[in-house]
Homo-oligomer: A and B are copies of this chain.
Amino acid sequence: MKRKITLKQIARELDVSISTVSKALRNSPEISADTKQKVQAFAKLYNYRPNNIALSLKNRKTNTIGIIIPEIVHHFFSKVIRGVELVANKRGYNVIIGLSNESFSKEVINMEMLANGSIDGFILSISKETLQLQDYHHFNETMSQGMPIVMFDRVVSDINCDKVIVNDFGGAKSAVEKLITNGCKSIALITTKDYVSVGKLRTQGYMDALNDAGFELESELILKLDDKLDYEVHLDALENEIEHLFKSNKSVDGVFAVNELYALSAMKVARKLGLEIPKDIQVIGFTDGVLSKHSTPSLTTVSQHAQVMGEKAADLLINRLETEHNENEDETYQTVVIETDLIERKSTK
């Protein structure tokens, strides 16, 4: 087992100084052709590569991006990562990931871990617990130490930094407008409790669309579900709530759900109650998932372009990292809004 070779070893082996080796390898005109030739051949033979860690220390630049997300087993987030990774690699950066698992303390710990020199900047989406606690000190501290942050999707206006968000309001609104255009007269909303900003915005889009169309807003048609009912676990409870909604509002002929799972559950319950999709009831989900395409019937969705979000976030961060910022130049941050697309499938007419 041969350890990785260093400049020092090459220097000793060829009986020259370390700096000569360094210069020869970087093709410095200071060095004679002879020596260059000799050193480069030797280096190639032993497959010399400069040590990243030493370079990072010297340059005070790691060329690594830290990404903190609440959950990786989630189509939306993994697509964002793919986008980040794509751009980062293209521009010479690595990506290191930290999972907050929706927990405030894990978010804080992970960020502290990475902020101590391991990375040049963060791309992150805030955990639910942090949003509930509204404790953002760790973001401010990180930034005040000169480490830039780009937030995506789950952002808060309290923090001053670059952001990439989806047009949640507009996407939701146009989805509901689609249902209205398709003839729906009584449209239900299945959403989450309000503390996650994106949920709130989507709810507003729903309301605005109804309002514009001159519909009455009926609070019984709005189902606000607890987040604990998310994902795999309490599928039954989820379906029960939806079933109750349908049963007490028999006229419902359209459903807008703020995520894929809610939309699928709605379809499942509808089928169970003997309703035909899209004849009797039409469904649209806000999502970036895989389920929609393969469900029966396939689900019409509002696409969030997660990968584009990741790419954009990475570009924003790297641009900021590589732009010379004078000390007393007042930093101006931008918020990029990604427009959604309505992908029409078989759950709407």
Contact = CB atoms under 8 A, between A and B. Distances in A.
Given A1-B144, A73-B82, A75-B73, A52 B94 contact: no
Interface string A111-151: 01111111000000000000000000000010011100000
A85 B71 CA distance: 11
Interface in A95-109: 95-99
Interface stretch (A11-19, A166-174, A290-298): A290-298
B144 A2 contact: yes
Interface stretch (A54-62, A178-186, A241-249): A54-62
A251 interface: no
Given A3-B145, A78-B73, A99-B85, A50 B116 contact: yes
A81 interface: yes
A273 interface: no
A3 B99 CA distance: 26
A57 B118 CA distance: 12
A96 B53 contact: no
Interface in A12-47: 47
Interface string A191-228: 00000000000000000000000000000000000000
A261 B317 CA distance: 36
Contacts of A8: none
A53 B1 contact: no
B99 A96 contact: no
Contacts of A290: 289-291
A309 interface: no
A87 to B, nearest CB: 12
Contact of A95 (B97, B116, B141, B268): B97
Interface string A56-77: 1100001010000000111100
B97 A97 contact: yes
A94 B85 contact: no
A94 B119 CA distance: 12
A49 B96 contact: no
A4 interface: yes
Contacts of A117: 4, 51-54
A322 interface: no
A312 interface: no
Residue in A52, A264, A295 whose Cβ sees the most chain B Cβ within 10 Å: A52
A94 B112 contact: no
Contacts of A51: 57, 116-117
A157 B329 CA distance: 58
Given A289-B290, A295-B296, 16 more contacts: A1-B144, A2-B145, A2-B146, A3-B146, A4-B145, A4-B146, A49-B116, A50-B116, A51-B57, A53-B118, A64-B96, A73-B75, A73-B78, A89-B110, A97-B97, A290-B291
Can you list the 7 inter-chain pairs with the closest CB atoms, starting with the nearest? A51-B117, A96-B96, A53-B117, A52-B117, A49-B116, A52-B118, A73-B78
24 contacts: A1-B144, A1-B145, A2-B144, A3-B145, A4-B146, A49-B115, A52-B116, A52-B117, A53-B57, A53-B62, A57-B57, A72-B78, A73-B78, A73-B82, A85-B97, A85-B98, A85-B99, A89-B110, A94-B98, A96-B96, A97-B97, A264-B294, A290-B290, A290-B291
